[in-house]
Amino acid sequence: MTTISFALNHMTAPALPLDDFFALAKSLGISAVEIRNDLAGNAIIDGTPAAAVKALAEKHGLTIISINALQRFNEWNDDRAREAHELITYARDCGAKALVLVPVNDGSGQKDGERQANLRSALTALKPMLETAGIIGLVEPLGFEICSLRSKTEAADGIRAVDGEGTFKLVHDTFHHHLAGEEKFHPKLTGLVHISGVADPDVTVSDMRDPHRVLVDATDRLDNAGQAKSLLASGYAGPFSFEPFSPAVHRLSDIGTAVRESMEFLAAKA
């Protein structure tokens, strides 16, 4: 059995204030966390200073592995450049190691040739910004049919095209990997794995959406256990970060026990 290194994304318990979320991770024996910039009324969108976030992480003995996320990163323009600068600066100042980069997901920018050019353009612009700050860019293809970057192989090709292997890594999201119908793994270029399952027996793959994403157990339809086993067997040694979006998970009265059970299930399968 190979040991899985778990991490916790704030989406697991989005209503918890950052201090309580960090305490939850610590109580589970997890030392790596992801913070977000899309949780209304919570850090970091509520204006919490980077120095305060850094101090909280240090208090709990945690490493902030990423800020999630710069949205529409592959639609590069002046607004995106400003957003990127702000988030990269915040990541540097709060001690985060990486910034997640999420592609356009509204049906635009999908044409062959156009989407690859847009990806290279954005990576080229982001590369010096990230390198100056000492931050890794984590490119996260989304499996949705309307997404402008579904393929991790295409993302990997773009990273190599800009000589960005030292600056960019891939996010292997088990949900999006399944939705995209991808078979190829890129363990050497993978910097983070997001884990969530789908248990609903009736929803079709093409209709799966974020609210279907629950904690992984024996009812999982996405083969999280198999994906994790393949990644570990091929040399991936980074974190596996829980990222359930389901309101049913967010409503749990004892999220700690639920996450622990999922950790035990996945660890036993690895």
CATH number at residue 112: 3.20.20.150
Model confidence over 3-52: pLDDT tens digits? 899 999 999 999 999 999 999 999 999 999 999 999 999 999 999 999 99
Band (pLDDT 50/70/90 cuts) for residue 125 is very high
Tokens of 173: 């999201």
Pairing of strands 5-9, 197-198: unpaired
Q: Please count the other Cβ atoms lying within 10 Å of the Cβ belonging to residue 169.
A: 23
Alpha carbon distance 64, 5 (integer Å): 14
Alpha carbon distance 117, 97 (integer Å): 27
Alpha carbon distance 39, 268 (integer Å): 32
- pLDDT above 90 covers a percentage of the chain that reads 98
Alpha carbon distance 188, 70 (integer Å): 23
pLDDT at 84: 98
For residue 21, the one-letter residue type is F
Instruction: Check whether 68 has a pLDDT greater than 90.
Output: yes
Band (pLDDT 50/70/90 cuts) for residue 141 is very high
Average pLDDT over residues 208-235: 97
For residue 180, the one-letter residue type is A
Pair 77, 121: CB distance under 8 Å: no
Domain with 161, as residue range(s), is: 5-269
Pair 105, 142: CB distance under 8 Å: yes
Model confidence over 171-201: pLDDT tens digits? 999 999 999 999 999 999 999 999 999 999 9
Count of structural domains within the chain? 1
Look up the pTM and report it: 0.97
Instruction: Check whether 66 has a pLDDT greater than 60.
Output: yes
Average pLDDT over residues 55-73: 98
Band (pLDDT 50/70/90 cuts) for residue 270 is confident
Q: Which of 1-15, 61-75, 114-128, 182-196 has the lowest mean pLDDT?
A: 1-15
